[in-house]
Every structure is written in structure tokens, then in C-alpha cells.
Amino acid sequence: MADTVIVRPQELEQLIQQKLAAAGLTDQQAKIVAEHLVFADASGIHSHGAVRVDYYAERIAKGGMNTQPEITFEETGPSSGIVHGQNGPGQVVVLEATKYAIAMAKKSGIAAVGVSQTSHSGALSYYVKKAAQEDLIALSMCQSDSMVVPFGGKENYFGTNPIAFAAPRKDGEPVVFDMATTVQAWGKILDARSKNKEIPDTWAVDADGHPTTNPHHVHGLLPISGPKGFGLMMMVDILSGMLLGLPFGKHVSSMYQDLTKGRDLGQFILLIDPQRFTDLDNFKASVDTMVQELHETPPADGFEQVYYPGEINQLHYDKYMTEGIPIEKNIYAYLQSDTIHFNQYSRADAFAQTGSGK
């Protein structure tokens, strides 16, 4: 923690909002994105928190994020629809899509909503938690640019293609689970680069497709559990890309190659009203019972307790929102500065080293 500072959530949100507004977002858009990034950092998902501000600011300033989108909802059936985001700020577009999906699920019992043409939308746990707080079961997934070698291959095809799930509880915050479909998130490798530490040889491969322990030699990530993660990546791209008539796999736009153009990304949201299947109170009580029984499970050697998947993030959130959020000193200095962005993200290779700044 020596290279971090503890920042009050309100201060962090204000600094992020000011920086994004200076880059070109409206005050309301900047506030929504800032709230989302603070949620990510408070949840311990630092790869999707304040570290993203410089990148967002550069893309906004260069015109690759539409600051005046006309976000529309096309209802395609009683339980289905498409939100057209016009490459607006991802957090703004997907939050709006989540609101449409919540209203539809409460009316019809289920909602399948596609999000077409959005920017990077951040941590998916933010959206599914919103739905679970409305007593709905939520599943969300999104595509990303090609960074992962397929099982048995050595050239990148799919993205990290994350999946998030949430369910309401009777007592306590919703159960929320958010994961990339790779062995380890790209942010973890960036962290290893910054500290010049080796990584396990199960995380990634080099330019020749060979496992590497050097984070600076990474040219492709590996799918979680081999063919199983590979299958999940394919599922995500089909539901959030092909289903909406969007680019898929290696055709998905690069996060870094051209920051002057919109990314045309896709996302898929599925919400279920448990009351259409069972008694709501009993369902929520069952989720509580599951959590309690997991906590009561004897821990294996080296572990203090069994947690439900995603619980550590909730524990981080509870702590950091009260005590303050740890932020890298150089990121905090950037947020406090007059610099809008460091002009370091326009590059063809997603795995290339960044320049100065962060």
C-alpha cells in the first residue's frame, strides 16, 4: 500500500467527474461514469476504476465517444428489446438499458435486452446489482476486443468477454458474481508489469504462443479452465455480438487502435422476476441460507473462511466506502492535475507498453 493514497469516495467521485467533464462529457454523463468508477474501485475492481479515466478522457477528447447520443429503446416483443447507444459513454448507455430491462421484467416476468453500439461499459457487477436491488435475478455479459488465444491455438480471437450474475437476498446485499472468462484479468498483468514481477505461466502466452512468466512479453491471454472458458467466450460473443448484428471475435474494434471512432460494442442483459416461478420471500430466504451454509463450511488448509463467489468484492465495498478507497498515487496526482489526458493510448497493439503518465 506504500504507493497508494486513501481517498474519500466523495472526493474521488468529484475528481473523476471534473476530469471527464473537462474532456467533453456533460456534467450528468460525467457524474454517472464517475459513480460507476468509484463503485469499481470501492469493490476492489481497480482495473475498472479510476485507472480508466485517462483512457476515457483521451477517447472523449479525440471524438471516439459520442457525447450527444440519442439513446433509444426498440421494443421487439413483450419481453425483448434493443437499446441503441450510438456509441455514447458505456456506463450511461448500459445504465439506461438496465432501467428499460428492469421495467420490462417487472411487467412481463422476464426481459432480454440487447445493447447495440456502446462504448466500454466498465464493471458489469454494477448493473446486475442494480437489478437485484429491485428483486430481480440478473445476468449480463459483453464482448471485448481480441486478446485471448482460443484453446488449442496461438493467435488471439475472442476478448476477455466478461459475465456477471446477481440475485436478491432477504437479509443483506444481493449476491453478485462478476468474472472475465480468462484465467486472469489484463489489469493483473498490467499490475505485474508496473512492479516488474513474474506471473504464473498459466495466465498468458508470448508472441510465439508459448506460456510466459514475463508480463512484458504477454501477447495473448488464456481462457479460464481451457476449453470451458473458451466455450463461455464463444457464448458471450454470440449473445452480445452476433445476436445484435455486430462485429464478433477478432472483428471487434480495438480499444486502442483508433480513438477517433466509436467502438460499436454489444452487451446482453437477461433479467428474471423470481415471483413468476416461486414465492419471492422464500426465494430470497433460500439465498440467505445458501450464504450462511457456505460460511459454515469448514475451510480448507490455508483459508480462514468460505465466501460465496463475489463476496470479497462486497466486503471491500463496505470497508472502502466507509474508510476511504486506496488509489495509486500517480493516478490521484493525475486526477488532481490540470492535464486532461496523457495522449498515450493510441496504438495498434493492445499489449504494447504505455508511455509516460500512468
Fold of 72-180+224-276: Ribosomal Protein S8; Chain: A, domain 1 (3.30.1370)
Rounded to whole angstroms, how far apart are CA atoms 25 and 29? 6
Strand partners, 74: 82
pLDDT of residue 358: 32
pLDDT of residue 357: 33
Catalytic hit among 36, 84, 120, 219: 120
pLDDT of residue 352: 73
pLDDT of residue 356: 32
Domain with CATH 1.10.1530.10 in the chain: 4-65+313-336
Domain with CATH 3.30.60.50 in the chain: 183-222
Fold of 4-65+313-336: Hypothetical Oxidoreductase Yiak; Chain: A, domain 1 (1.10.1530)
pLDDT of residue 2: 60
Rounded to whole angstroms, how far apart are CA atoms 156 and 147? 5
Q: How many of the other CB atoms lie within 10 Å of CB of 321?
A: 16
48 is catalytic: no
CATH ID of 183-222, from 3.30.980.10, 3.40.50.720, 3.30.60.50, 1.10.3470.10: 3.30.60.50
Give, for all 358 residues of the chain, the pLDDT tens digit: 568 999 999 999 999 999 999 999 999 999 999 999 999 999 999 989 999 999 999 999 999 999 999 999 999 999 999 999 999 999 999 999 999 999 999 999 999 999 999 999 999 999 999 999 999 999 999 999 999 999 999 899 999 999 999 999 999 999 999 999 999 877 778 778 877 899 999 999 999 999 999 999 999 999 999 999 999 999 999 999 999 999 999 999 999 889 999 999 999 999 999 999 999 999 999 999 999 999 999 999 999 999 999 999 999 999 999 999 999 999 999 999 999 999 998 876 778 765 333 3
**Residue 277 three-state SS:** coil
pLDDT of residue 348: 61
CB 205 within 8 A of CB 222: yes
CB 84 within 8 A of CB 116: yes
Domain with CATH 3.30.1370.60 in the chain: 72-180+224-276
